[in-house]
Amino acid sequence: MPERRSSQRKKVLLEAKWESMSRGHEARVDDVSLGGCFVNTYGHVELNEPVELQILLPSGDWLALRGKVASYQPGVGFGMSFNLTYREKKAVENLIASAVERSI
């Protein structure tokens, strides 16, 4: 299957929480790029559903991001495409630069 991402991703493992139209959920972010991330969660989503995501940064602060569901794997999680402001883009760039990359 061809690569659909336009930004290089970094494999991470960060605690997160997200809200959709239905309710809040706990999760982990498995990879992140300037274009989006993969959210590992049992919560159900629909394609193109708006999502608010908060990622626990290595500093202990929360990074709040908005976007929409780009792909969904039931029981595994979903791919999220970001809708970033300039400030959020800089915060994601810093996260990518500073987060420890997981080996698997």
Q: Which fold, 10-98? A: Thrombin, subunit H (2.40.10)
Residue 67 burial class via C-beta count within 10 angstroms: exposed 0-12, middle 13-18, buried 19 and up: buried
Q: Are 68 and 51 in contact (CB under 8 A)?
A: yes
Q: What is the pTM of this model?
A: 0.87
Mean pLDDT of 59-88: 95
Extents of the domains making up the chain: 10-98
pLDDT in tens, 12-54: 999 999 997 768 899 999 999 999 999 999 988 999 999 999 9
pLDDT in tens, 85-104: 999 999 999 998 887 777 66
Spacing of C-alpha 71 from chain mean position: 12
